Structure 1
Amino acid sequence: MKVILIKDVKGSGKAGTILDVADGYARNFLLAKGYAIEATAKNVNDLQGRKAAEQHRMEVAKSEAEAVAAKLKDKVILIKAKAGQGGKLFGAVTSATLSERIKSDYGIDIDKKKIVLSSDIKAYGDYEFEVKMTQGISCKMSVKVEPEE
């Protein structure tokens, strides 16, 4: 019996896979537990339509990420902060701070989890960081931390 998996099944396959399995396994386990549906012509066409739509969404997301990466590439963010003796900042410049600054300076909303810092910035100076968009698309940016006047 041919079935289409709608959930990942250990030992059988991932969701969206068309399998040819024993009738008993299909009826008593896969179909009964809601892990699969029968592979009728209608269901196969629906699956192909969903896969095509998902592929299109992925391509659109990738092109948008490339456009954002091109816009942000090699940009410098200026942050003014207060510090104590020796130039050590009160607090730190974190990925959340950088995310807010990118949104205010460039109008692009970047999730703080996508900003990769080697460590939090706790002193004045120039630092580089990476913004990882999606699927291997990333860009390097710089931040310059200066004393607040």
Structure 2
Amino acid sequence: MKVILLERLEGWGGLGDVVTVKDGYARNFLLPRQKALRANNANLKVFEAQRAEIEARNAKAKEAAGRAGEKLDGSSYILIRQAGESGQLYGSVSGRDVADAVNAEGGKIERAMVAMDKPIKTLGVHEVKVRLHAEVAVTISVNIARSQDEAERQARGENVISSQFEEERAAADEAAQDLLAGGAGQIEGDYVE
């Protein structure tokens, strides 16, 4: 189906472009959300008559997204999740979880604005892209940890998983040294067989 784009769509084109898209994409997404019009003579005339108004509305939306993006860009959010010893999460962190965390701290984004190729499944600090408008994208960081203390350590740049293994190894070495210093395994005294 041929459509006239009413805003810039990544991978398809800019405002006013006539593009061919799959029928389902046009009927189920573009047309109901007023992102495009069917490309026919009547709609071409309507679009050309309203082009200035549509461009002004799009510029206004882009400006509003830019202002919101200034507040969000570079901000950091902490998500506390359960995870195994190796840092694998028992669940995963999706775009909905990120959007909920941002909205809980006063931001205003929708789940669809969070651009994640796949869910996050490990502890650590992850960079996530948020698309506020077709032409405005910001990057936020999401700190996923098992506790608030662990989140603070990760924020300082510490690798919590490797430091946990180092602490356990050091504790085991210390325990072994205590056993040897205490005489474990040595026979003292007069034992008669």
TM-score by length of 2: 0.50
**How far 1:118 moved relative to its partner?**
4.9
- 1:124 corresponds in structure 2 to 123
What residue identity is the alignment partner of 1:102? V
1:43-82 residue pairs with structure 2 within 5 A?
Answer: 48=49, 50-82=50-82
C-alpha contact (below 8 Å) 2:62/2:135 kept by paired residues: no
What residue identity is the alignment partner of 1:55? E
Which whole-Å CA distance do the structure 2 matches of 1:127 and 1:94 have between them?
12
- 2:103 corresponds in structure 1 to 103
Larger strand proportion of the pair:
1
Deviation string, structure 1 residues 40-99 (Cα, Å, up to 9, x no partner): xxx88x953x22221221011000110111110000010111123322212111111001
- 1:94 corresponds in structure 2 to 94
Which whole-Å CA distance do the structure 1 matches of 2:119 and 2:59 have between them?
33
Does structure 1 residue 114 correspond to structure 2 residue 117?
A: no
C-alpha contact (below 8 Å) 1:115/1:132 kept by paired residues: yes
- State the secondary structure of the residue aligned to 1:140: strand
C-alpha contact (below 8 Å) 2:82/2:89 kept by paired residues: yes
Which whole-Å CA distance do the structure 2 matches of 1:8 and 1:113 have between them?
23
C-alpha contact (below 8 Å) 1:131/1:141 kept by paired residues: yes
Alignment coverage as a number of residue pairs: 115
What residue identity is the alignment partner of 1:147? R
**Structure 1 spans left out of the alignment, 5+ residues:** 1-6, 15-34, 38-42
**How far 1:130 moved relative to its partner?**
0.8
What residue identity is the alignment partner of 2:143? K
With a CA cutoff of 8 Å and minimum separation of 6, indicate the structure with the bigger relative contact order.
1
**How far 1:117 moved relative to its partner?**
2.8
Which whole-Å CA distance do the structure 2 matches of 1:61 and 1:113 have between them?
17
Identity of aligned residues (%): 21
Does structure 1 residue 135 correspond to structure 2 residue 134?
A: yes
What residue identity is the alignment partner of 1:137? V
Which whole-Å CA distance do the structure 1 matches of 2:125 and 2:77 have between them?
10
Which whole-Å CA distance do the structure 2 matches of 1:113 and 1:8 have between them?
23
Change (3 A) 1:51 1:77: same
Greater Cα radius of gyration, structure 1 or 2: 2
What residue identity is the alignment partner of 1:63? E
**How far 1:134 moved relative to its partner?**
2.0
**How far 1:119 moved relative to its partner?**
3.3
C-alpha contact (below 8 Å) 2:72/2:107 kept by paired residues: no
Deviation string, structure 1 residues 120-148 (Cα, Å, up to 9, x no partner): 21121111111122233111110101114
**How far 1:8 moved relative to its partner?**
5.1
TM-score by length of 1: 0.64
RMSD between aligned residues: 3.1
